[in-house]
Every structure is written in structure tokens, then in C-alpha cells.
Chain A
Amino acid sequence: EAGVTQFPSHSVIEKGQTVTLRCDPISGHDNLYWYRRVMGKEIKFLLHFVKESKQDESGMPNNRFLAERTGGTYSTLKVQPAELEDSGVYFCASSQDWVKNIQYFGAGTRLSVL
């Protein structure tokens, strides 16, 4: 069974540009999460999807960030326009259900905004 996959593994963009990160969860996992770790800080929650619906987006830093999960399969996280402080590693995770909420993480996308 394939794990959570994220693309790209690394993205380098200039301030003001747009970047779209993609996450493919484990097949059959309805729950999909985005987290990020900016340099020197802990991993922080961004948002949670159940299928195609946003269940909790309390961690999204501002309206420059837009997450979608059309069709309830893969998800994208768009940053537009990117700022220097957006640099960090963006993780996606998925889980099967809420009873035993083990979240399985992808390898992350390292975003560098110059």
C-alpha cells in the first residue's frame, strides 16, 4: 500500500510568486491534514478535510493560503502571493477514521521563498 505522497519535494520561488503543493493521501483515507514547520518552530496544524469538506481550518495563517480537495481524493495547498515567512516544510497527513486517529505523514514539501 502506497503511503502519503507529496509533490514537489522542494520548491524555490521568489517573493510574490504563487506555489501549489499537492498531497495524495493513503487510498481510502477520508481524513486529510496539512501541517507546516517553519524554521526553528514546531510542526503546526493548518487544516483538516473530511472527504472534500473542510472540517477545521483554524490553523491557516491568512487568506494567502488556499487548500482544496475536490472529489475528496488528493489535495492542493496554494500560496498566493508567497512571502518570505512562508518558507518551511509543509506536511500532509491522512487518517482512516476518528476512532483511532493515527495520522500518517508524507515526506513533506520544503518551500523556500527568496
Chain B
Amino acid sequence: GESVGLHLPTLSVQEGDNSIINCAYSNSASDYFIWYKQESGKGPQFIIDIRSNMDKRQGQRVTVLLNKTVKHLSLQIAATQPGDSAVYFCAENNSGTYKYIFGTGTRLKVLA
């Protein structure tokens, strides 16, 4: 897949356990944050987003937490399943511009 050669941090989690993927963002002016999931051979798929006026947002089995004080974002996946195995990217955006700034990504491996 396209991630061959990339030395990504890897998180290995037992199936059924909860996963927490962390991301540090760089720009204190960023006010919109997104998590993407990328499976092998596919493009990044939107998972969940959060605006800077919130510190927590929940989706289906996923929760995003935002700590603006330390510029930290996390993605929590409940009851991790084999289909959750992928590379996860956080992205930040300043609503004054359309460009996303991506983190380097974390590879999630779900162990059976």
C-alpha cells in the first residue's frame, strides 16, 4: 500500500478494547479540526470533526477531545474492531483559509 516506507507511530490494540489516538497540532489560530481514517489503497475518509468552541464531540463509537491549552487533539474509538485497522490522521484548519494541515498519522493495528 501507499504507506510502505512511512515510519508511522503504531498503536496495537486488542479487539474489543478502546483505542486512543493522539495528535498535537501546531497553529494556535486553528479553529476547526478533523480526523480522517485511511485504509490501504484508499484515500482519507472523514470520521469526525470538532470546532474550537467545543472540547468534546461524540459520534458513533468515536469521540474527539480537544484541549486548546496544550494544542492537543485525541480520537477515542470504543470497542475497537478489526475493520478499524488503518492509518488515522488529524488535520487542522483555520477558517480564514481552506487548506488543511495534516499530522503525520498513526497506524492502528487491531489484534484478534
A interface residues, Cβ below 8 angstroms from B: 4, 6, 31, 33, 35, 37, 39-45, 48, 55-56, 58-59, 89, 91, 93, 95, 98, 100-108, 110
Contact = CB atoms under 8 A, between A and B. Distances in A.
Nearest to B41: A107
B2 A110 contact: yes
Interface stretch (B9-17, B55-63, B70-78, B89-97): B89-97
A40 B7 contact: yes
Contact of A106 (B7, B43, B97, B99): B43
Interface of B: 2, 5-7, 32, 34, 36, 41-46, 49, 89, 93, 95, 97-105
A86 to B, nearest CB: 15
Nearest to A3: B43
Given A105-B45, A106-B43, A108-B43, A40 B6 contact: yes
B42 A107 contact: yes
B27 to A, nearest CB: 13
Contact of A91 (B5, B43, B95, B101): B43
Given A39-B5, A42-B104, A43-B102, A107 B95 contact: no
Nearest to A43: B102
B98 A48 contact: yes
Contacts of A39: 5-6
Contacts of A93: 43
Contact of B32 (A33, A40, A101): A101
